[in-house]
Structure 1
Amino acid sequence: MKNKKKVVVLLSSGLDSTVNIFEAIKHHHEVVLALTFNYGQKAAKKEVEQSAKIAKYLNVPHKVLDVTWFKEFNKSSLLVEDQKIPTGKDVEIDNLEKSGESAKSVWVPNRNGIFLNIAAAYAEALGADSVIPGFNAEEAATFPDNSIDFLKAATHALSFSTANKVTVGCYTAHLNKPAIVLLGQGLNVPWELTWPCYFAGEDWCGQCESCKRAKRAFASANVDVKSLFKG
């Protein structure tokens, strides 16, 4: 019997990363490590908690890495306390220009680049073939580090910096959020364990860009998760 492909998954407990780890297991890969990053984001407490629950649910090894030094080189509203994360009327997910403005507010310099490189180092050390982040086509329009081109470029770079030529792959990079929810439904993802919100309240705020995209996706797929949203 052919050996299972070993993978490291970047798990933030958001819709994309959660569906990717479930999909990896469906494809009979061995998830040798689920990595969650605390980079000082306002949602860190909930992302860490929910990621740990997802990893336990799937019985995969989980590690939380403290990279809060991210605050030293950026002014993202996701991290800086006196910077307001866009919510409510400041977020129009169907308006590309407006989405571009909110993207600038929450942009974290080279976040995914740094995460992938750290994950690739773990992958090489653990004998894993690939790193799997949670990307999507919907946000790639305003976040270029969510794009398929970025995945290809990262794989090319890692072919030089890892001895076993770790690749970067993502099951959802070509999908929008509604399609990702539909994929997750087929995988029986327990949505109550996920955390798409930019904040760390008791419930998903329902008003930040990430929540609004999630709400629309769930509604489009006729998935009732109203109880998880505060607003």
Structure 2
Amino acid sequence: MAKDSLIILSGGMDSVTLLHYRKDRIALAVSFDYGSNHNAREIECARQQCEMLGIEHLVIPLEFMGKYFRSSLLEGADSIPEGHYADDNMKSTVVPFRNGIMLSIACGLAESRDLRHVMMANHGGDHAIYPDCRPGFVAAMSEAMREGTYEGIDIEAAFTDITKSDIARLGKELGVDYSKTYSCYKGREKHCGKCGTCVERREAMAEAGIDDPTIYED
């Protein structure tokens, strides 16, 4: 199968699962360093995964987001709320139009590399809180990319309509080592176990019947 795609790879569970799921089609993985608390740990996991699979990995700096955008994700570990994604306080973790910015850059990079698709790993659990993960956004952004490129580059978002537990089940089938992924929004050495993404990570692995290899502070 031809390698016709670029993947936006954070280094978390979802994008790493997609990396393994579509590895035969992925020519390039791109991580973005935008100044979040957990960026460095995620990017290191992304690098390790790509090295293991023999996929080229680029890290693109986006310092301006950390400097000018408002989000608890950019303001240090103590600013991160604890609880479930269903809680209203989790809206503070939204980084305004983050996926739109990253997809635009990925689209330009894909066209420069003669690739036809940009893969992203948003999922159904993201929809309620993150506007730039919702199906309507993905469809509109994909159409804009098609219209704005000679080759009609589009977005492939294979997980849009499934849950993180579904992703974990797929990862289990694929043999993904989730100890080499990172999720915690606080960005410490160990996962806090209490922020929205840690809670979701725990729930997904439990529902998928995975023996969670994550080391949590609690």
| Partner of residue 18, structure 1 | 16
Deviation at 1:139, TM superposition (A): 1.4
CA distance in 2 between counterparts of 1:155 and 1:227 reads 34
Q: Choose from 161, 165, 187 the match for 1:178.
A: 165
Structure 1 stretches of 5 or more lacking a match? Answer: none
The answer as to whether partners of 1:46 and 1:200 remain within 8 angstroms in 2 is yes
Deviation at 1:102, TM superposition (A): 1.1
Deviation at 1:40, TM superposition (A): 0.5
| Partner of residue 182, structure 2 | 195
Root-mean-square deviation (CA, aligned residues, Å) is 1.6
Give the percent of matched residue pairs that are identical in Structure 1 and Structure 2. 28
CA distance in 2 between counterparts of 1:55 and 1:82 reads 27
Indicate the SS of the match to 2:74: coil
Q: Choose from 67, 71, 79 the match for 2:74.
A: 79
Indicate the SS of the match to 2:115: coil
User: Aligned pair 1:59/2:51, yes or no?
Assistant: no
| Partner of residue 95, structure 2 | 108
CA distance in 1 between counterparts of 2:167 and 2:177 reads 14
User: Aligned pair 1:6/2:1, yes or no?
Assistant: no
Q: Choose from 99, 120, 133 the match for 2:107.
A: 120
CA distance in 2 between counterparts of 1:124 and 1:190 reads 32
- Segments of 4+ moved more than 4 angstroms: none
TM-score by length of 2: 0.94
| Partner of residue 28, structure 2 | 33
Residue by residue, what CA displacement relative to the aligned partner does 1:86-137 show, whole Å, maximum 9, x if unpaired?
Answer: 02xxx134xx4x2x3312x111111000000000111001111100111010
The answer as to whether partners of 2:9 and 2:15 remain within 8 angstroms in 1 is yes
Q: Choose from 62, 65, 70 the match for 1:70.
A: 65
CA distance in 2 between counterparts of 1:184 and 1:142 reads 24
One-letter amino acid of the structure 2 residue matched with residue 72 of structure 1: K
CA distance in 2 between counterparts of 1:18 and 1:123 reads 19
